[in-house]
Amino acid sequence: MDTRGQGSGWSIGDTPDPHGSTAAYPGVMTRGIHDPREYYYRRLYTDAARLVDVVRELPGVDATRIAVTGGSQGGALAIAAAALSGDAVAAVMPDVPFLCDIPNAIVRTPSPPFTEVTRWLSIHRDDTAAALHTLSHIDGAILARRIAVPAFFSVGLMDDIVLPSGVFAAFHALASEDAAIEVYAYNGHEGGGSRHWARQVAWLDARFGLSG
């Protein structure tokens, strides 16, 4: 999924955000933060859920075996898609997922992009309550409560972009009875890299029977 309004940092970014901004880097964390209805991530999460709807209609797709995955922001989108799409998603694999346990993350994370929010709050001091209310709508540790399908997370314990505590908060909030988390003790935000991708394939194979 091309993330609207992003790009120009590591990818081109062809999908504009229609609310007055084309692809830009950095700066989406506080776009519309005053109001949950206007917040940037509301639109991005809606894109993720709609993508599931589109994929279900593609020729050759088994609509009963759709899994969602992504790393970092993509991990947040995977959580959102699974939480918002009901039984349309059969499995979720968030890899070092961003946007989890946000109230803790914005005061403890030393690296961007969470620091965009802390910088904004340092100027907009009277808007803290409204901003935190908005952020609660897209917090993966809250959305994970809606996920009951099999889930396979990953976390890097030396991650200073997505703190491990946020990943564990989302993981422990899951309603799924089939949930696992791969812990990479000596890795940062890169997580397990290609090794973890192989683990994801094996995990899916055990549930979807891909090699059968």
Tally of CB atoms within 10 A around 179: 18
From CA 81, how far away is CA 134, in angstroms rounded? 18
Asked if 176 is an active-site residue, the reply is no
| Catalytic residue (one of 34, 124, 137, 189) | 189
Asked if 211 is an active-site residue, the reply is no
Judged by DSSP in three states, 146 sits in: helix
Asked if 159 is an active-site residue, the reply is yes
- Reference 42, options 143, 128, 119; nearest CA is 143
From CA 143, how far away is CA 94, in angstroms rounded? 13
Contact between 76 and 115 (Cβ < 8 Å): no
| Catalytic residue (one of 95, 101, 159, 196) | 159
| Catalytic residue (one of 17, 72, 85, 139) | 72
Q: What are phi and psi of 180, to 5 degrees?
A: -140, 155
| Residues with active-site annotation | 72, 159, 189
